[in-house]
């Protein structure tokens, strides 16, 4: 059984290092035939994973189940963003379940804080040893994680952060820097009027995360002494009719807007509006490698998409709980994901 477990660990190291299992085996047993560069890469991954086959073998022998909970938004007609983190979570689950890890996923509605509370209560009524959480509703999340702390349940944040909470770790974008990059991209087609809009399409438009992104966006123009007027547009109702209504009103009041920066994955709904109103003169920047977004990117109605590897966030988040609860190994408190820029020209080659 230990041999089977060791092979499984080597397989994951090989996958991450993009080398053969035999190459990893040579490094583990200090045999020749591996370049120093590859050896260092493999050893760094071994260190990162805190690879300890004896501990894993002990887990297999104990047959004790460790239950983990995942609390994330469900995929909806408005956005399929959460398909990607769920793929990462499923991938991690498939790797760790043979070691007695049982993962249960609880879904909530992004438009309904009450559904978050309901699912959070179900988790607290269970016997879970760790929680992977997308804290989309800040106040509701704070209440939930207070209860987690009382029960001594470690929790990991992905995609969004909640400041000043004793989370095990945060895996996601550097929100301020992400907004900063968005601002730089928005100058791509600016001409002379220098008026841009920040569009928040969310019931939680005043949350910490959106405020951090917007602060980064505004800071870019301030740091570069660019004379620019920034219009903030908050769209609380996220259905297409509401988006159309609010954007129509905003562009009627500010017809000289040259660029729009959307602070989340719903940028496709703004692109649909610009297509319908024939406003291809407005550049559009937003987030996430979604099917709808790629469609409008290819139509050149979206200029740039900023992406943060959401599948990897889900994978790393669940593995952080596993590493802590099973291996007893420390995890990085904050792991910032890359800030990738996807365009029409490179989107076909991008891996989310």
279-328: per-residue pLDDT in tens? 999 999 999 999 999 999 999 999 999 999 999 999 999 999 998 998 77
pLDDT attached to residue 4: 41
pLDDT attached to residue 73: 94
- Bridge partners (DSSP) listed for residue 161: none
Which of 255, 186, 262 lies closest to 224, judged by CA?
Answer: 186
DSSP of 67-127, one letter per residue?
EEEEEEEPP-SS--TTHHHHHHHHHHHHHHGGGTEEEEEEEE-TT-HHHHHHHHHHHHHTT
pLDDT attached to residue 344: 97
Domains of the chain: 2-58 (1.10.260.40), 64-173+309-337 (3.40.50.2300), 175-307 (3.40.50.2300)
| 284 in Cβ contact with 260 (< 8 Å) | yes
Task: Work out the average pLDDT over 217-245.
Answer: 93
Task: Work out the average pLDDT over 175-196.
Answer: 91
Asked which of 167-171, 222-226, 328-332 is least confident by mean pLDDT, the reply is: 328-332
Q: Is the dihedral of CA 213, 215, 216, 218 positive or negative?
A: positive
Global model pTM greater than 0.75: yes
Task: Work out the average pLDDT over 323-352.
Answer: 91
Model confidence at 2: pLDDT above 60? no
Considering only residues 162 and 26, tell me which one the structure prediction assigns the higher pLDDT: 162
Asked which of 4-8, 47-51, 222-226 is least confident by mean pLDDT, the reply is: 4-8
For the sheet containing 130-133, what is the strand order?
101-108, 66-73, 130-133, 155-158, 169-172, 334-336
Considering only residues 52 and 109, tell me which one the structure prediction assigns the higher pLDDT: 109
Model confidence at 83: pLDDT above 60? yes
Model confidence at 175: pLDDT above 80? yes
Considering only residues 54 and 160, tell me which one the structure prediction assigns the higher pLDDT: 160
pLDDT attached to residue 62: 64
pLDDT attached to residue 56: 57
pLDDT attached to residue 323: 87
Considering only residues 239 and 337, tell me which one the structure prediction assigns the higher pLDDT: 337
Average per-residue pLDDT for the chain: 89
Asked which of 3-12, 186-195, 239-248, 295-304 is least confident by mean pLDDT, the reply is: 3-12
């Amino acid at each position: 059984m230990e041999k089977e477990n060791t092979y499984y660990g080597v397989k994951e190291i090989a996958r991450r290092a993009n080398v053969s299992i035999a190459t990893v085996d040579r490094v583990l047993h200090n045999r020749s035939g591996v370049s120093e560069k590859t050896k260092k890469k493999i050893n760094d991954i071994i260190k990162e994973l805190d690879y300890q086959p004896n501990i894993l073998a002990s887990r297999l022998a104990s047959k004790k189940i460790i239950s983990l909970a995942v609390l994330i938004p469900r995929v909806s007609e408005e956005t399929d963003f959460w398909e990607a983190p769920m793929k990462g979570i499923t991938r991690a689950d498939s790797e760790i379940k043979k070691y007695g890890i049982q993962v249960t996923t609880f879904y909530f509605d992004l438009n309904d804080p009450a559904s978050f509370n309901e699912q959070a209560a179900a988790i607290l009524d269970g016997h879970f040893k760790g929680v992977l959480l997308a804290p989309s509703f800040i106040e509701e999340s704070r209440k939930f994680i207070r209860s987690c702390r009382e029960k001594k349940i470690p929790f990991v944040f992905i995609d969004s952060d909640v400041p000043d909470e004793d989370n095990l770790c945060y895996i996601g974008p550097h929100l301020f820097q992400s907004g900063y990059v968005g601002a730089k991209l928005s100058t791509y087609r600016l001409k002379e009027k220098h008026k841009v809009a920040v569009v928040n399409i969310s019931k939680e438009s005043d949350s910490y995360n959106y405020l951090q992104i917007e602060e980064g966006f505004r800071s870019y123009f301030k740091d570069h002494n660019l004379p620019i007027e920034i219009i903030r547009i908050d769209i609380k109702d996220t259905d297409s009719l509401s988006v159309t209504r609010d954007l129509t009103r905003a562009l009627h009041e500010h017809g000289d807007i040259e660029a729009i920066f959307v602070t989340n994955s719903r940028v496709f709904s703004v692109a649909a509006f610009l297509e319908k109103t024939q406003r291809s003169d407005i550049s559009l920047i937003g987030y996430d490698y979604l099917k709808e977004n790629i469609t409008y990117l290819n139509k050149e109605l979206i200029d740039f998409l900023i992406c943060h590897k959401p599948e990897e966030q889900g994978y790393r988040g669940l593995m952080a709980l596993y590493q802590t609860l099973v291996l007893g190994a420390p995890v990085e408190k904050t792991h910032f994901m890359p800030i990738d820029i996807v365009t029409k020209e490179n989107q076909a080659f991008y891996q989310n």
